[in-house]
Amino acid sequence: MKFRRRRDEEPGINLTPLIDVVFLLLIFFMVSTSFTRATQLAVNLPEAEGVSAGGAGESMELVIQANGRVKLNGTLVSSDRAALREAMEVELANTGQRALTIAADGDAPHWLVVSALDAANILGVEQVTIATQEPGQ
């Protein structure tokens, strides 16, 4: 009896399931990734709605005007970073208050507010409040 010789199939890896998994992962990452660009923030300051924190008389008051003038508890202070920090340090030593209220004009230079916050952080001020007004006032 003569048997036919069977042709052996070449061993190989089926790539179809692998390609399916790769495409599923690609779709997952495309859907879960956000493609937003950081452009510009629209910020309207200094109006805010909310409940007053109260206790404003127990803290130092730093007023920053639109023209760059800075007053600490009613006393005119230089807007220089070092001078502002020194004035706040003297006021902290005299009064012992560990709270600060910053009342900055909406048109005040931003670097003045950042300088005040930085000085408060260095001096160990425990509570910083940004003063705002209700809309329409």
pLDDT band at 56 (very low <50, low <70, confident <90, very high): very low
The end-to-end CA distance of the chain, in Å, is 109
Residue spans of the domains in the chain: they are 58-130
What are the DSSP E strand ranges found in 37-112? 60-64, 70-72, 75-77, 99-104
pLDDT tens digit sequence for 114-131: 888 888 888 888 888 887
pLDDT tens digit sequence for 77-111: 887 888 888 888 888 888 877 888 888 887 888 88
Q: CATH fold of 58-130, please?
A: Nucleotidyltransferase; domain 5 (3.30.420)
pLDDT band at 47 (very low <50, low <70, confident <90, very high): low
Helix (H) or strand (E) holding 127: strand 127-130
